[in-house]
Amino acid sequence: MPRPHRCRFIDSYPDHWSFAALDDPSRDTVIMSLDEYETIRLLDKEGLKQEECAEKMGVARTTITAIYESARKKLAQCLVDGKTLRIEGGSYKLSNHFIGEIKPKGEKEMRVAVTFDNGEVFQHFGRTEQFKLFDIEEGKINQEQVIDTNGNGHGALAGFLKSAGVEALICGGLGQGAKNALDEAGITVYSGVSGDVDAAVQNLIDGKITVQNGATCDHHGHGDHGCHGDHQHGCHGHHE
């Protein structure tokens, strides 16, 4: 029987998910996992040593070495051969260090987040400073709370929502990069909504809001996506 990877911790989702050569974007695609991406971010961008990276990701230094070597080879294929790079999947779990005091939800409750600004649905997901959370069971709202965000950019916000146990998001506009991050987090998106936040949630309960499959803003990042289910309660990923 194949042995599963030990779960690797990542701080947040990327803001950018796909990269292609402008002169020939039709070449083969290389898939980089989120744990591979995290080693590139920590070692090359943040300048951590491999021992420090291993401690942050919760694995052995030898594991970091192997992940990093795999990630670097994939980057080389894209730079030298012009292949498209897409980031998705992997054996990882989000770190919850940026989550403050958020009331827990019941086991059978669905948690919905709404971008929040003075009672109205805020129109730019990636810039929202507050979310209002609603815990819903059998068409009834059992609990409401307004929370401040602790991250900038849609990747950090998607990770914030995932760690908060959010299963659905109501918002105004969002770009493709944000949609990719929310898909990876397994969060259902109801975008293009405006007006009163409480009324929007009631419309969702009443079945008057439908899922939007694409981005609703064209000025954010672009890329492909993959939907990979729940990372909050376990380590999702491939197996050896």
On the question of a common fold for 8-94 and 110-206, the answer reads no
Give CA torsion, residues 102, 116, 180, 151, to 10 deg: -60
Return the closest-CA partner of residue 93 out of 35, 52, 180, 16.
35
Query: Under CATH, which architecture does the 8-94 domain have?
Result: Orthogonal Bundle (1.10)
What crossing angle do the helices spanning 176-184 and 154-163 adopt, rounded to 10°?
30
Task: Look at the pTM and tell me if it is higher than 0.85.
Answer: no
What CATH number does the domain located at 110-206 have? Answer: 3.30.420.130
**pLDDT tens track for 157-216:** 998 899 899 999 999 988 888 899 999 999 999 999 999 999 999 999 999 998 876 555
Helices then strands, counting H and E runs in the chain, come out as 6, 11
List pLDDT tens digits, range 211-233: 876 555 544 333 333 323 333 33
Where are the chain's structural domains?
8-94, 110-206
